[in-house]
Structure 1
Amino acid sequence: MTKQPSLFLPHGAPDLLLTEHPAKRFLAELGSRVGRPEAILVISAHWESPRLALTTASTPETVHDFYGFPAELYEYRYPARTDAGLSRRTIELLADLGYAAEADGARGFDHGAWVPLLLAFPEADIPVVQLSLLAGGTARQHFEIGRALAPLRAEGVLIVGSGSVTHNLRALGPEGTPPPVWATAFDDFVAFGTESGDWDDLMHFPDAPDSARLAHPTPEHFLPFFVAAGAGDTDHGTRLHRSFSHSSISMSAFSFGDGALAA
């Protein structure tokens, strides 16, 4: 059984699937670089719960949790089945940290989960379990949650945090427009902290650095990063990809862990 890395991936706008963006090409090539995991545990920015929760439907629905996009986007499906064993193991590991995770048999895969997975693993033949963020949880809490989940990697589970290093929808611009200074500054701050292993500095988010509040008016799109970083259980990570979408949305991707991918 191959030890898996932990990844933080961008999911971008849902219409990433319809573009020729560099991040789409990166995600489409990622599956062959990772290999075939036994299962995938994905944490998306688009599911926050007062208590940690897991998808437990046998084949969760593909949720089109967006509006105003081309009709063809609503035809996409990601029919991956879940893995009851992975759900139980995740619940056990979280319980050791003091978190009672709930089973959610009605929850489907939101676009933060299925968009990057559809690109990286298009056959949808690898079991997938989605774990929620902790509503109101801090960066440090989510890093600790990732630390608790780290043993799954040695069991062949690929851990994926899905979000964005910058996410300010009020600052979107035409595709191809150069990113604003605050977006590149925060993206560089995250890359430097990751590659130097300065987790404590990163966990001041969202109070620091000065660009953090502009990069994230609300924190949920960056919190999956901390789960992925914690799950890496190592002293640093690697940036795998950098590009920007709609001017200000960072599409940077990172790998963590002793099984991490090379840039």
Structure 2
Amino acid sequence: MPKELATFFVSHGSPRMLVDPCPTTEFYKKIGEYARKEGINGIVWMAAHWETPLDTIEVAYNPRPNKDFVAFVPPEVLQWYSDYQINADTKLAERVHDKLKDAGFNVSLNPTAIWHQDVMIPMRWMYPDYHECPPMAVMSVNGRFDPWFHLKVGLTLRSLRADKILLIGSGGGIHNLYTVSWHRIIFYQDTATRTKPIDPELAAFAASMRESVNRNSGPQLGNALARLLQHPHFLKSNPTPEHFLPMIYAAGACSTWDDTKYINTFGGENWEMDTQLNANFAFGLDRGNRIFLDGSHDIISASEETEIPQAQAAPALITAAA
């Protein structure tokens, strides 16, 4: 039986993530290391910055796509961003389209779609030299924001893992643009310096994300993350869910009963502008993986009956492993 690749959720963060090293950029690098080690044949992204209406989902179909605007970075990084040639693969896009269409999705190919910084930011660290960029395709988030819809997208594309196609969702763990301290990036091009304490409700939601990933596998993984949209602090954390749903897509591709043998793990995080949390996760890892399962994270298999010590439980913690 062919080996199945892991899938990943990355928080792309602000444009400063093109510049400033942190735990999230280290996670990007590890994905690049993993991709090279496994000899991947391509990447299929779900990108938070592209929403489609009604019940539709679209797959970009331009072999030479344009990129969106980026700001708050030094000229040399801006030049890198401008010069980077995306290896957009129309054949891979057709393959994704056909799989989704066969599963009953209202899907179409979009020959004019541009690629956004939600893909370009992690690519800066995964494949900084565009000559090494693998074939890629990118798809939209559906604007009805139904978590079960996005879970099914991941499940539908699950078989690509055995063909060495990497599935990555790019969004954000906590993404509330109404509350971030914009002055940090606008005036100082600095998003890392904290000017206020971490909100306890945001911390509780972040703990729930980590526990939902660390303590679940197989169908329970997808159910746990989809049900986080009902968390009492979800709307404060993500008043619009488009940045959260790519996480459910990536987890959906590792949410069958066959996936209970794999490990899902927290991949590190960093806060920006006080209230934006860039959280990262890996799903469907082999137990012998040494790139991500190096003992630096709290890794708990869902098959192990391990209780959370009461002293470590965050306030209002909700895990969907019932």
Partner of 1:58: 63
Match of 2:125 among 119, 122, 125: 119
Residue 203 (structure 1) shift = 1.7
Q: Determine if the alignment matches structure 1 residue 160 to structure 2 residue 161.
A: no
2: distance between equivalents of 1:128 and 1:144?
21
Q: Which amino acid aligns with 1:41?
A: V
Q: Which residue of 2 aligns with 1:79?
A: 85
Say if 2:205 is the partner of 1:186.
yes
Larger radius of gyration: 2
Q: Evaluate the alpha carbon distance shift between residue 70 and residue 34 of structure 1 in structure 2; reply closer, same or farther with a 3 A threshold.
A: closer
Q: Deviations over 1:81-139 (max 9, x none)?
A: 22233122211211232113211111121011111122112123211111111111311
How far off its partner does 1:237 sit?
2.0
Tell me which residue corresponds to 1:203. Answer: 226
1:166-245 matched pairs, under 5 angstroms: 166-173=174-181, 175-177=192-194, 178-197=197-216, 198=220, 199-206=222-229, 208-233=230-255, 234-235=259-260, 237-245=264-272
- RMSD of aligned alpha carbons: 2.1
Q: Relative to 1, partners in 2 of residues 1:20 and 1:255: Cα closer, same or farther, differing over 3 Å?
A: closer
Higher RCO, 1 vs 2 (CA within 8 Å, ≥6 residues apart): 1
Residue 107 of structure 1 aligns to a residue in which SS? coil
C-alpha distance in 2, partners of 1:247/1:167? Answer: 11
Code of the residue aligned with 2:178 in structure 1: it is R
The amino acid across from 1:94 in the alignment is L
CA distances 1:229-255 after superposition (whole Å, capped 9, x unpaired): 001233462111122222222211111
Match of 1:49 in 2: 52
Look up the SS of the partner of 2:26 in the other structure.
helix
If the length of structure 2 is used for normalisation, what is the TM-score? 0.74
**Secondary structure of 1:89 counterpart:** helix
8 A Cα contact 1:60 1:81, kept in partner: no
Number of residues of Structure 1 aligned to a counterpart in Structure 2? 260
Is there any run of 5+ residues in structure 1 with no aligned partner, and where? none
Q: Does the CA contact (< 8 Å) of 1:55 and 1:108 recur in 2?
A: yes
1:132-147 aligned at under 5 Å gives the runs: 132-147=140-155
Deviation sequence 1:60-96 (CA, Å, 0-9, x none): 22222x55x2462543133122223312221121123
Gaps of 5+ in 2: 185-191, 298-322
Matching residue of 1:9: 10
The residue type paired with residue 48 of structure 2 is A
What letter is aligned with 1:60?
A: P
Alignment partners' CA distance in 1, 2:265 and 2:29: 19
Rounded to whole Å, the distance in 2 between the matches of 1:192 and 1:96 is: 34
Q: Distance in 2 between matches of 1:17 and 1:151?
A: 32
| Letter matched to residue 186 of structure 1 | F
Contact 1:161/1:225 (CA < 8 Å) preserved in 2?
yes
The aligned amino acid for 1:254 is F
SS in 1 for 2:242: coil
* Whole-angstrom CA distance in 2 between matches of 1:202 and 1:33: 24
Would you say the 8 A contact 2:62–2:90 is kept in 1? Answer: no
Percent identity (aligned) = 23
Q: TM-score, normalised by structure 1?
A: 0.90
2:278 counterpart residue number = 251
Aligned-pair CA distance for 1:205 = 3.8
- State the secondary structure of the residue aligned to 1:4: coil
One-letter code aligned to 2:225: L
CA distance in 1, matches of 2:136, 2:109: 14
1:159 is paired with a residue whose SS is strand
